[in-house]
Amino acid sequence: MTGFKEMPEVGNPLYVVKNHDESKFIINRIKQRSVLDAARKLAASGQIQVHDIKHSIGKLTKMEK
């Protein structure tokens, strides 16, 4: 049994996992979500532009692809 390395924020869910690999997976998913959420907020505020590669590829001709 291990303790917390840091205190969780209020409202964050706690997960019970079977092994260290499962905990790493969950942590990585949470980090990915927070990065995407931050990028979406910046894009919504107009501070950055989000480039959708699928949309751009759809505009290319067969020769350009």
Which tens digit of pLDDT belongs to each residue from 21-61?
999 999 899 899 888 888 888 878 877 766 666 666 666 66
Kindly list the domain boundaries of the chain, sorted by start residue. 20-59
Give the residue carrying structure tokens 């919504």: 44
Q: Identify the residue with better confidence: 49 or 4.
A: 4
Cα diameter, the chain: 59
CB-CB contact of 23 with 17 (8 Å): yes
Q: Identify the residue with better confidence: 49 or 5.
A: 5
The string of pLDDT tens digits covering residues 10-21 is: 888 888 899 999
Nearest to 2 by CA among 11, 12, 13, 17: 17
DSSP calls for 25-45: HHHHHHHHHHHHHHHHHHHHH
